[in-house]
Chain A
């Protein structure tokens, strides 16, 4: 069986949650495997990360280089190509960094690449049987990956549950000397932090969240009226921001805000994993969608099959009536 490597994402000296998920994914490929954590970075932050990882990975490969202080995918790729043996299986979290790194890494390692893997069903010889989703999660696909020359697999965040395990006393192996000089045709300048919006959706207990099903900008008012009645805020999924119907600050998801409401009303949205990644604290999810097969119904607590453009105004007026009666 090929050796399995887990590329560890970290920030400010803290290991990303994905590190434990990659270890779980590695055990799906080979239950007996002892995956190797590979960490790139620089300085005290990198040392802190390696020290943390040593408790959960038997072997930690440390790649220290000042040019890797910020994870520029082009430089990280150059370093990994020098350090990783050919034929290995490399696991990378499928988030913004993995999307930047992995396709090119697979080319340079001359290995196969599978994006956004959410299931690992088994291994036959050097062939991996994997699960992906297509068409926004409406259908899943079994994918066969010939890993005889190695593979890079981008692993969907949250798809593999970390296992409880006793801490280990892993070894840190310094691979920095193998890297040599690094030079990039893409140079990191700075990170621009998102502007605060008019409404802080992270502070609300109830969110009326709209997706593509709201259909046009003028219809946002329908959600706002319900939100006003509930003392809630209106949030949204990515297509609504792409269409400029609401500002970016209202977007829930991995590329938007992380919210922790008590009640989340998912209105006219499919419920992509990137969107759900922004939803924390186990809220009570009410999904309203006219498509009975919308994936959001798989994760919601309560589902209603309806056109939100009809349903939301009726709900608003009923709540208004209820309030007037009790007032």
Chain B
């Protein structure tokens, strides 16, 4: 189709920013309450990049490969978070940026979006991507960031094709159906998992970017008023974590493996599942 030619943003290429986060890795850790019962147990937690963010980075890399362009990954956090920037740079992102300031600690979703807005406005990005949701987050920063910038936004995006100066996207809606839209750039898209297959990153790739300098921006670098972000600016605060009292829960089958299987087969027969 003529209009689906992969191109052409005038003379420029497509500048893509991907917002990523470092989170406790739930495939490596069982998340439990701490002894005081007010937070999760953070000792010995293994952290990694929020898994949905890898799909956003992969999508950015594929767009840049087709249309020409640059991919920048950014995170709001601390020095510890540099490792996830390096991981995404090992995937192929051209540069990583750390946004870090004591004034940012305790920010809610709106605070993070406010910080990212200031960063986006320092550059010139055609496309800003986020993962659909953080493990401990609310699928909110992308939509907030777009509204703060007055950019159009789409969530749950599961395909992107580049048209001339705009994108054709689909969103995942109910029943596996896809809502097709056209969206002007610059825009913010929150990327659904499964949109692509994020490339593998080996130790060698990580080593290659180990010494690349990662620029850091503070609140004053970005011109962010400390009162608007961090704990002070947060309207939404997590008070504590808890594990809810269980409902009736499952009847746990006990015994050795053979007994358990025999019981299960009896139950399934009774429920009409075996013929």
Contacts and interface: CB of A to CB of B under 8 A. Distances in A.
A185 to B, nearest CB: 4
Interface in A274-327: 284-287, 291, 293, 297-306, 311, 314-315, 318-319, 322
Contact of A140 (B144, B242, B265): B242
Given A138-B30, A315-B264, A96 B273 contact: no
Nearest to A77: B147
Contacts of B238: 141-144
A191 B176 contact: no
A194 interface: yes
A284 B273 CA distance: 10
B140 interface: yes
Most chain B CB neighbours (cut-off 10 Å) among A139, A144, A212, A244: A139
A262 interface: yes
Contacts of A248: 176
A135 B236 contact: no
A294 to B, nearest CB: 9
A227 to B, nearest CB: 11
Contacts of A303: 249-253
Given A186-B187, A244-B197, A192 B147 contact: no
> What is the size category of the interface that chain A forms with chain B?
35 or more
A99 B155 contact: yes
A138 B257 contact: no
B241 A139 contact: yes
Contact of A96 (B136, B171, B240): B171
Interface residues of B, number: 81
Given A146-B236, A185-B183, 13 more contacts: A103-B144, A106-B110, A115-B137, A139-B31, A139-B33, A140-B244, A185-B152, A191-B180, A230-B273, A232-B273, A263-B271, A302-B250, A319-B274
24 contacts: A99-B156, A100-B171, A113-B109, A116-B139, A138-B32, A139-B40, A140-B242, A185-B187, A186-B154, A191-B180, A192-B180, A212-B27, A230-B274, A238-B194, A255-B172, A255-B173, A255-B174, A262-B273, A285-B250, A298-B249, A302-B253, A303-B253, A315-B265, A318-B265
Interface of A: 72-74, 77, 95-97, 99-108, 112-116, 129, 131-132, 134-136, 138-147, 149, 151, 184-194, 205-206, 212, 230-232, 238-239, 241-242, 244, 248-249, 251, 254-258, 262-263, 284-287, 291, 293, 297-306, 311, 314-315, 318-319, 322
